[in-house]
Amino acid sequence: MNLKERVKDILGDDLLVMAEFRGDLCIEVPSKRLTQVLARLKEEGGFDFLSDIIGIDNIDLYVKKAKKGKKEADEKEDVVDIGPPPPRFEVIYLLLSLSTNERLQVKVSVPEDNLELPSITSIWRAANWPEREVYDMFGIRFKGHPNLRRLLMWDEFQDHPLRKDYPLEGKGEERHLDYDVA
Partner 1 sequence: MTKKFETICITTGPTEYSDYVTLNIGPIHPAMHGTLRVITKTDGETIISAKPEIGYLHRGVEKLGENLTYTQFLPITDRLNYCSAICNNVAYEMAVEKLLGIEAPPKAQLIRMIMMELARIADHQVCVGILGVDLGALTPFFYLILQREEIYEIFEWHHGARLTNSMGAIGGVEADLPDRFHEKWPKLRDSIRKANDETDKLLTHNRIWMDRTIGVNAFCGDDALDWGFTGPMLRACGVRRDLRKDEPYLMYDKVDFDVPVGKHGDVFDRYMVRMLEMEESIKIIDQAYELYKDFPEDAPLMKKVPKIIKPPEGQIYHAIESPNGELGFFIKSDGSDKPYRIKIRPPCFMVYQAFEDLVKGEMISDLIACLSSINVIAGELDR
Question: Which CB sits closer to partner 1, 114 or 122?
Answer: 122
100-139 binders of partner 1 (CB under 8 A): 101, 103, 105, 124-126, 128-129, 137
Rounded least distance, CB 77 to partner 1, Å: 26
Residue 16 touches partner 1, criterion: CB under 8 A: no
| Partners of 142 in the β-ladder | 117
Positive or negative, the Cα torsion across 104, 99, 118, 7?
Answer: positive
62-81 binders of partner 1 (CB under 8 A): 64
Taking the C-alpha atoms of residue 154 and residue 161, their distance in angstroms, rounded to an integer, is 12
Tell me the chain's radius of gyration from C-alpha atoms. Answer: 19
Rounded least distance, CB 20 to partner 1, Å: 10
One of 27, 91, 94, 117 touching partner 1 (CB under 8 A): 94
Count of alpha carbons within 13 angstroms of residue 162, beta-carbon side: 18
* Residues 57 and 162 sit within 8 Å (Cβ to Cβ): yes
Taking the C-alpha atoms of residue 178 and residue 173, their distance in angstroms, rounded to an integer, is 16
Footprint on this chain of partner 1 (rule: CB under 8 A): 21-22, 24, 26, 48-52, 54, 56-57, 60-61, 64, 92, 94, 98, 101, 103, 105, 124-126, 128-129, 137, 150-154, 161-162, 166, 168, 179-182
